[in-house]
Structure 1
Amino acid sequence: MSTQPPGRRALITACLALLLPACNSVPPPSTAEITSADEARPIRLRHLSALPVPRWVNALPIPKIATATSPDAYTLTLQPGRHDFGIGGPTTPVWTYSDGTPPSYLGPTIVARYGTPVHITWVNALPTMLPFAQEEDHLPTGAQGEPMAAAPFGDAVTHLHGGHIRDLADGGPTQHFSPGDSRQVDYPNDQEAATLWYHDHAMGLTRLNVMAGLAGAYVLTDPYEQTLNLPTGAYDVPLVLQDRSFNADGSLQYPERWEPEFFGDVAVVNGKAFPFLDVEPRPYRLRLLNGSNARFYRLSLSRPKAGKVTLQQIGADGGLLPVMNPTGRLLLAPGERADVIVDFSAFRGQTLTVTNDAATPYSGKPDKAGGTPPLPELLQFRVRNTAPSAASGTPPTPLRPLSENLSLQQAVVQRDLTLNEVLDPQTGLPLRSQLGTLNPDGSAHLLSFDDPVTETPRVNTVEAWNLINNTVDVHPIHLHLVQFQVLDRRAVLRDAAGRVTGYGPALPSDPAEAGWKDTVRANPNEATRILVRFDRAGAYVWHCHILEHEDNDMMRPLQVLP
């Protein structure tokens, strides 16, 4: 078991002082080197765009709805293309999902209905060279000095994140396939209405393929949701949040070898940099999706000199919450989703800005600058100065009672699972992230992806997973196949050697987590307990959804036994 020394935090604080632009564009990069006093090692600042990026000049695009080849059947081709991010420079080489219509960055939104299966043919027409520079040996070596497993460049496989799917269609990391090949999958859509998403999941390449553009929204509807008087059509808006950096030639800037996390300096929403959306003075449904590699967002909707606007959260990863969660701030980890209602009728003629104050890496603490590099502002809403319209948008309370309220008493197994980082003894920075189990003496037993499977629940049983975070950062933990419930969080008690000796009092889960979840934030030095019913046998995975961690061994097999 390993924890990070304070040097990493000190380094981030030092870098932050140099990265606080107070202007309407992202400045060119600094070439300064920062030396942390306690480590005395130079660290060059990276991921700063090489050209000033304009703000609030790009209209927010709405991802197009996928075109079916026949009822509820789609062919989506993974292919190279170019995209205009609105960065005030050349267009950018990207990878896209194309449905036969002109391709665009972010795949087309698939709209599915409960109980109606969707059939998709994924066709790999990618080149074997990424649209940004990458070394052939881009991953660090493993625990024994062995090369880390990674698929060849150009290989891909699409995972429906949050989908209740048989294992052969899951899009797991070992199911990647090569350019020139294709795969056919069926998604049963036998779960409640929810905002899901699809993205690449190839072994060792997920961070690269998603950075290149392989992601898109998947909206599942059902008859119950349609009775709730929620905004629909043009008033139901997906917002895919990402951070990117750009070179002077317009290409994506990304490190050529693995780094612990990626944080870009340009907010990209639905594929446009720092966009705006003109809205009517009426309620809107906003489907928020954190599609960033590593950046967390603590989101607020702010008016100049007038404070924050209340967000009415109605949904999370797995669908509608039991009751609305009114909040002034919403925290989203990579992979998490949240549906909110915002009523703009009281803000005619005003401009509202989506702001962010999450630190990077995210340890649970705020940062007014919005991290390093800073992203304090993401998106503007410009409310038209017209009369408010009588419109849908006030959902009932309760929204949707839980289909099953899981309890600790139902758990036939309680598993102690650990989240760990292996640190460079010279720099204190992570070399590798790993999941593991807990030894009887309270120490962590670190495991690689290829180690024998240890999580083997039986089908149709409930388990309690106790996620013990031995690092100083928050990790979003995602389980394939299932939606689960967050039970509580407890402080971890340790002896002088750092071994776990017990837990503090249980703290209830956040109101934003009251519904079904497939991704949960595991806070530093806490044990986060989730309750999971495994209702389908098969081979799946669970992992950290910081993509740089996932690619560098923070992923484990999950075998649901008959």
Structure 2
Amino acid sequence: MAGLTTAAVAVGGTIALRGSESQAQELTGAATLPGVDTPTHTELTPFKDPLRIPPTLRLNSRSITEINLVNSRQRLHSQLPPTRLWTYGGHFPGPTIEVRSGQKARVAWNNKLAGTLPVKAVWIRPEGPGPGLLPYNRPGSEGGFPRAEVDGLTPWTTVHVHGGHQNGLSDGASEYGVTPGDAQLAEFANDQAAAHLFYHDHAMAITSLNVAAGLVGHYLVRDAEESRLRLPQGEYEIPLMIQEVNFDTDDKGRIDGRILSKRIVHGPEPTPGVMPPALASLCPFTMVNGVVWPHLDVEARAYRFRVVNMSGVRVYRLVVVDEETGKPVRGAMKLIGTDLGLLGKPQTIDEALSLAPAERADLVIDFAAFPGKRLKLVNTIPGQTPGAALPEFTIPYPEVMQFRVEKKRNPKPYAVPATLSPRFRNIKPGDVPKDATERFVLLAFDKSGAMPQIWEMQEVSAQTAPGDGIVQIEIDGTTRALRRTATVFEDTTTFFASSDTWEKWHFVSVAPPGVPIYHPMHIHLMNFQVVERRSLDSTGLDHAAGKTTKPLTPGAALPIAPEESGWKDTVNVQANTIVTVAGRLAKQSGKVMYHCHILDHEDEGMMRPFVIMPAAVHEIHGMVMEMNGKMGAGHGAHAHS
């Protein structure tokens, strides 16, 4: 298999750039766990294996770094046989890319993958016979309907740096995938504050499967402001990529290590060649940096953890628990940053920190007060005892990872700087510029009520007659009318924007009663803050008719959690709420995307393109659209607040 980069050489845990000649070496067994080579276990033991920390790849602006996408085999738990993966440079996750703010970097992502997708995919019924775990929360594909269309997938990939500033040509557009033997060339501006980004596959219709196969990695932007804070660094700064995962089993029920995707189907039995209405793919196990339930040996001192939820579906509500007492360690996590950088001041997480898919948290945990202790990070739900078994319809195993603190005491507890980013300002609704372009996106369902959809909306006259695609909504006491202009990626592009300008987006989630759906919405090339979240009376929306019979009405204000209080690129929108975000588009331009980051939702249509242009071009484009009677939602009198 090919090496990591033609401009890099491995040096311990770091990959240092050296000229332009190929000196990289492919991953060998030294980077994977020891263990069994054939299926032997029906259960996996938590905290048996050490955390895997990916090597670091530092990019510069002097050369093109070539990163090869290659097949690999890695053991994801020592009680599992090695798992076949698609990887960046032979690592899972891929190498942690580091860049300096303001320094452009160029990467050639070389598709050197071979064979068919290493993920087994089946349809599964949501109900199960008798007591025990529900079928989607068990390993094994028993009772599943094979997905023949997945079995024949060969490598088609495109790489997106999530949260990064890059022109549309370098953004990993879903329809611009490359096949084996070809490369995707990309330039990353990195003209942003220090932040924890990540990179992953973004190929049209198969992102969830390619990501499940291993195509993910961390991406860190560094700047002088961050350096001056003297936060824990080097071996005391650790990126943590949290992912849910499932595995197939052999005919004796032993877990065989092959990654398994079990889509929950409802309705009639799936028909070959037809995509049935389905729920997303929930999984029973949790990996951190590609290891199921790992442990980390830590000194009795402060560590900085860069956490990202890279799961396809699952929201994690993370709690630190003392294994000896079984009680939560309140205040153990100090939040210093969100998706796109540092907060103004640190915030103490009283108990739980919630992360939806694609959301990040920059955390400091000081282990100085816990010498000799074993602490564990667990997933929980409100009202449930942290660390206890969770209801079978959510996740059967609460374990995420374990921290084993050395016995030696550190007499100097770490003090997180009282001021982190003096530049940070929290945006309130009244702070949004009056000329910010205002957009409405409904997160609704199709007319059958079975499949979630994005409804891209354009404001029209309040006197517009009711009809299919017409939605009335109350905003700040005024009833406004919206017309649906698109529902799937392939519909006509209607959102056009000026680069480096302010935007205000309303995500309006409308769901039938009792449907606890959520959508983590990601906007490419936009740094935003959550300025308002409210409950929503959505009983006026008739999904079958595709229209409102009475206005959608916002209700009480809902809290914005500390982990949502900074600069972000992804926001979780719960059922029957309206979430307003505001921020500034990047200086870069081109055709990019916004979408739900539940990857199955994205693959099945909850993604839309929008086009960012220089302001002068945007103005001319608006004139051309008006001349042709095709006013886009990013132009015209109703595009502004």
Query: How far apart are residue 367 of structure 1 and its match?
Result: 9.1
| Counterpart position of 2:262 | 255
Q: In the alignment, which of 386, 399, 405 is matched to residue 383 of structure 1?
A: 405
Find out whether 1:556 has 2:547 as its counterpart.
Answer: no
Deviations 1:343-375 (A, max 9, x none): 11111111111011149xxxxxx9944853423
User: Does structure 2 retain, via aligned residues, the 8 Å contact 1:78–1:96?
Assistant: yes
Query: How far apart are residue 326 of structure 1 and its match?
Result: 0.7
Q: Residues 345 and 369 (structure 1 numbering): CA distance in 2 closer, same or farther, change over 3 Å?
A: farther
Paired residue secondary structure (2:517):
coil
Q: Tell me, in whole angstroms, the C-alpha distance in 1 between the residues paired with 2:407 and 2:393.
A: 34
Find out whether 1:449 has 2:489 as its counterpart.
Answer: yes
- What is the letter of the counterpart of residue 480 of structure 1? H
Query: How far apart are residue 494 of structure 1 and its match?
Result: 3.8
Gaps of 5+ in 2: 1-39, 124-148, 250-255, 264-274, 383-387, 458-468, 474-481, 543-547, 615-641
| Counterpart position of 1:522 | 573
Q: Residues 404 and 493 (structure 1 numbering): CA distance in 2 closer, same or farther, change over 3 Å?
A: closer
User: Does structure 1 retain, via aligned residues, the 8 Å contact 2:61–2:105?
Assistant: no
Q: In the alignment, which of 533, 536, 546 is matched to residue 492 of structure 1?
A: 536
Q: In the alignment, which of 365, 388, 412 is matched to residue 436 of structure 2?
A: 412
| Counterpart position of 2:100 | 113
Q: Tell me, in whole angstroms, the C-alpha distance in 1 between the residues paired with 2:581 and 2:210.
A: 30
Paired residue secondary structure (1:251):
strand
| Counterpart position of 2:214 | 213
Paired residue secondary structure (1:295):
coil
Q: Tell me, in whole angstroms, the C-alpha distance in 1 between the residues paired with 2:80 and 2:106.
A: 39
| Counterpart position of 2:555 | 504
Q: RMSD of the TM alignment (CA)?
A: 2.9
Find out whether 1:336 has 2:336 as its counterpart.
Answer: no
Percent identity over the alignment? 33
Find out whether 1:178 has 2:200 as its counterpart.
Answer: no
Q: In the alignment, which of 514, 518, 522 is matched to residue 478 of structure 1?
A: 522
Query: How far apart are residue 459 of structure 1 and its match?
Result: 2.7
Q: Tell me, in whole angstroms, the C-alpha distance in 2 between the residues paired with 1:560 and 1:68.
A: 27
Map 1:350-389; keep pairs closer than 5 Å: 350-358=373-381, 368-369=390-391, 372-388=394-410
Q: Tell me, in whole angstroms, the C-alpha distance in 2 between the residues paired with 1:240 and 1:370.
A: 24
Q: Tell me, in whole angstroms, the C-alpha distance in 2 between the residues paired with 1:184 and 1:496.
A: 48
Q: Residues 506 and 455 (structure 1 numbering): CA distance in 2 closer, same or farther, change over 3 Å?
A: farther
User: Does structure 2 retain, via aligned residues, the 8 Å contact 1:126–1:179?
Assistant: yes
Paired residue secondary structure (2:601):
helix
Q: Tell me, in whole angstroms, the C-alpha distance in 1 between the residues paired with 2:111 and 2:381.
A: 36
Find out whether 1:132 has 2:119 as its counterpart.
Answer: yes
Query: How far apart are residue 525 of structure 1 and its match?
Result: 0.5
User: Does structure 2 retain, via aligned residues, the 8 Å contact 1:50–1:246?
Assistant: no
Query: How far apart are residue 199 of structure 1 and its match?
Result: 0.2
Larger radius of gyration: 2
- What is the letter of the counterpart of residue 378 of structure 2? T
- What is the letter of the counterpart of residue 110 of structure 1? I
Q: Residues 545 and 411 (structure 1 numbering): CA distance in 2 closer, same or farther, change over 3 Å?
A: farther
- What is the letter of the counterpart of residue 509 of structure 1? I
Paired residue secondary structure (1:453):
coil
Structure with larger RCO (C-alpha < 8 A, sep 6+):
1
| Counterpart position of 1:323 | 345
Query: How far apart are residue 250 of structure 1 and its match?
Result: 1.7
Q: Between Structure 1 and Structure 2, how many residues are aligned?
A: 488
Query: How far apart are residue 462 of structure 1 and its match?
Result: 1.6
Q: In the alignment, which of 498, 512, 517 is matched to residue 458 of structure 1?
A: 498
Range 407-416 or range 281-290, more displaced: 407-416
- What is the letter of the counterpart of residue 283 of structure 1? A
Find out whether 1:421 has 2:457 as its counterpart.
Answer: no
Query: How far apart are residue 512 of structure 1 and its match?
Result: 2.1
Q: In the alignment, which of 123, 132, 135 is matched to residue 110 of structure 2?
A: 123
Q: Residues 122 and 88 (structure 1 numbering): CA distance in 2 closer, same or farther, change over 3 Å?
A: same
Map 1:54-453; keep pairs closer than 5 Å: 54-66=45-57, 73-98=64-89, 103-134=90-121, 153-248=154-249, 249-255=256-262, 259-304=278-323, 305=325, 306-310=327-331, 311-327=333-349, 328-358=351-381, 368-369=390-391, 372-388=394-410, 390=412, 394-402=416-424, 405=427, 407-422=431-446, 430-437=450-457, 439-442=470-473, 445=484, 447-453=487-493
Query: How far apart are residue 411 of structure 1 and its match?
Result: 4.2
Query: How far apart are residue 51 of structure 1 and its match?
Result: 2.8
User: Does structure 2 retain, via aligned residues, the 8 Å contact 1:456–1:559?
Assistant: yes
Q: Tell me, in whole angstroms, the C-alpha distance in 1 between the residues paired with 2:398 and 2:177.
A: 37
Q: In the alignment, which of 456, 463, 467 is matched to residue 507 of structure 2?
A: 467
Q: TM-score, normalised by structure 1?
A: 0.81
Map 1:42-57; keep pairs closer than 5 Å: 51-57=42-48
Q: Tell me, in whole angstroms, the C-alpha distance in 2 between the residues paired with 1:391 and 1:185.
A: 43
Q: Tell me, in whole angstroms, the C-alpha distance in 1 between the residues paired with 2:197 and 2:565.
A: 17
User: Does structure 2 retain, via aligned residues, the 8 Å contact 1:55–1:274?
Assistant: yes
Q: Tell me, in whole angstroms, the C-alpha distance in 2 between the residues paired with 1:547 and 1:319.
A: 24
Range 208-217 or range 239-248, more displaced: 239-248
Q: Residues 216 and 186 (structure 1 numbering): CA distance in 2 closer, same or farther, change over 3 Å?
A: same
Q: Tell me, in whole angstroms, the C-alpha distance in 1 between the residues paired with 2:397 and 2:198.
A: 24
| Counterpart position of 1:25 | none
Q: Tell me, in whole angstroms, the C-alpha distance in 2 between the residues paired with 1:80 and 1:120.
A: 19
Q: Tell me, in whole angstroms, the C-alpha distance in 2 between the residues paired with 1:348 and 1:468.
A: 47
| Counterpart position of 2:624 | none
Q: Residues 389 and 104 (structure 1 numbering): CA distance in 2 closer, same or farther, change over 3 Å?
A: farther
User: Does structure 2 retain, via aligned residues, the 8 Å contact 1:370–1:376?
Assistant: no
Gaps of 5+ in 1: 1-48, 137-147, 360-365
Q: Tell me, in whole angstroms, the C-alpha distance in 1 between the residues paired with 2:338 and 2:329.
A: 21
Q: Residues 496 and 76 (structure 1 numbering): CA distance in 2 closer, same or farther, change over 3 Å?
A: closer
Q: Tell me, in whole angstroms, the C-alpha distance in 2 between the residues paired with 1:215 and 1:92.
A: 16
Q: Residues 357 and 134 (structure 1 numbering): CA distance in 2 closer, same or farther, change over 3 Å?
A: closer
Q: Tell me, in whole angstroms, the C-alpha distance in 1 between the residues paired with 2:94 and 2:182.
A: 19
